[in-house]
Amino acid sequence: MLAALHDHEPDAATLEGLRKLDFPQNLGLHLATKEGLRALELMTQALVALPQPPESADLNELAADYASIYLNHGIQASPEESVWLDDDHLICQDSMFQVRSWLEKYGLQAENWRIRPDDHLVYQLKFIAHLLTRDEDLLQQAGCFMDEHLLRWIGDFSQRVLQRCATPYFAGLALLTAAYCEELRDLIAGVTGQPRPLPEEIEERMNQKVTSQVEEQPGAYVPGIGPTV
């Protein structure tokens, strides 16, 4: 459900559906941390504050806020991992190819990576849900993916949205998503008996992966340089 809400701006039918489902109280994982409870309250109040049915002005404001966050980077809170982790804050960098490798491992692919890169928030949330619904043996893999990718940047993303977005709806959604993912990762650690690695351990692991990938790539041809006799 969280992936769907990040996928597009809400219309009147979406908002009505959320109310009927008692969102966010209907989420499968009941949040219990201070951050989680705060996120639940913020999201709940955001939905309560919207009129039923919402007026055109409300929907237009939500659409504009969605575009500012997800489409035109108006508030500089990119939903793409590369922008947060790349030294130059560029899109379609190492993170995109790393996530693509995860997707391909399970027979999945981004619909159109040129429009929405593989490391986009929506794809990452969908992939985690895919792993969780297939097999209990994939829990550890889901946790590993979250460690190496989503949880390295979702906190910064959510705080940036919270501070800069124009609507309580998207502030609540961002905070709720980050809190939910953190508590989900804790749950996975408890179920599998594998504790969460420290951030420093994750960064070292990822640096080693990048180094290995570079070493495995054949050297590029440079004019004037070649074997000598």
CATH of the domain at 82: 1.10.3480.10
Number of domains forming the structure of the chain:
1
Q: Which domain holds residue 132?
A: 2-202
111-170 pLDDT, tens digit each = 999 999 999 999 999 999 999 998 888 999 999 999 999 999 999 999 999 999 999 999
Closest CA to 98 of 219, 227, 202: 202
Domain membership flag for residue 137: yes
pTM of the predicted structure, to 2 decimals: 0.91
74-85 pLDDT, tens digit each = 999 999 999 999
Domain membership flag for residue 208: no
94-114 pLDDT, tens digit each = 999 999 999 999 999 999 999
Q: Would you state the pLDDT for residue 218?
A: 55
Domain membership flag for residue 224: no
Mean of the per-residue pLDDT values of the chain: 93
Domain membership flag for residue 179: yes
Domain membership flag for residue 68: yes
Query: Residue 215: pLDDT above 90?
Result: no
User: In the structure, what pLDDT confidence band is assigned to residue 210 with cuts at 50, 70 and 90?
Assistant: confident
Query: Residue 186: pLDDT above 80?
Result: yes
Domain membership flag for residue 28: yes
* Mean predicted confidence (pLDDT) in 180-205: 97
Rounded Cα distance between 72 and 69, Å, is 7
* Mean predicted confidence (pLDDT) in 173-190: 99
C-alpha distances out from residue 123 to 65, 79, 82, 146, 180, Å: 20, 10, 13, 12, 16
b or e along 18-48 (b: 16 or more beta carbons within 10 Å of the residue's beta carbon)? beeeebbeebeeebeeebbeebbebbbebbe
Query: Residue 50: pLDDT above 90?
Result: yes
Residue type, position 54, single letter: P
Torsions phi, psi for 170 (to 5 deg): -75, -25
Q: Would you state the pLDDT for residue 26?
A: 97
Domain membership flag for residue 94: yes
User: 107 in the Ramachandran plot: left (φ > 0), alpha (ψ -120 to 50) or beta?
Assistant: left
DSSP track, 15-71: HHHHHHTTTTTT-SS---SHHHHHHHHHHHHHHHHS-SSPPHHHHHHHHHHHIIIII
Is the sign of the CA dihedral 141, 123, 162, 47 positive or negative?
A: negative
